[in-house]
Amino acid sequence: MIASMLRKHALRLVAGIVTVGLVSVVTACAQGESMSPQESRDKLVTLISDTAALISSEGWDETGAPIGSCSSSSGKGVSASWGLAREPMADHLGDAQKVADFWASKGLEVQLQKEPRIAVYGRGSDINAVSFSTEPGLYALDGSSLCVPGTLDEISNQDPGE
């Protein structure tokens, strides 16, 4: 049951991240120009992993690692998406506030949403977009890296957890 919920939620979040990513692509491309595809992906994976550990060190499952092409100011670019999900904890609002505070301390612009469901959205610094949601029955952390110059081959064969 969790696997089915994870897949369904992952698809919705990827669609949301793509939308946020399209809005942020110009800024993200300019910021990511000096990073390699691997560095950009590592920054995303580290932020999501550190955020998950802040909430709970156990119980998280990877929700996928899509890689995509994008346009950077120097031509073709690449970006990565990555996420984790788990069964929810008891204090949704408290956990969301921890996430919002942590991301703000990392230099991200943060928005804490309390209605209709509790969620946190972040962007900036070295991350294109990241979200934490507390849908009924699921906690999910998802994000997308900055668009950086490079090709899909430069990051598509690398495990995001490494």
The answer on pLDDT for 29 being more than 70 is no
Q: What is the pTM of this model?
A: 0.77
Could you tell me if 128 and 79 are in contact, meaning their C-beta atoms sit under 8 angstroms apart?
yes
Q: Report the pLDDT value the prediction gives residue 161, as an integer from 0 to 100.
A: 53
The answer on pLDDT for 148 being more than 70 is yes
Q: Report the pLDDT value the prediction gives residue 4, as an integer from 0 to 100.
A: 53
Higher pLDDT, 11 or 153: 153
Q: Report the pLDDT value the prediction gives residue 24, as an integer from 0 to 100.
A: 40
Q: For the chain, how many residues are written?
A: 162
Please calculate the CA angle 64-67-70 and round it to the nearest 5 degrees.
145
**CA 130 distance to own-chain centroid:** 4
CA–CA dist 118, 74 (Å, integer): 38
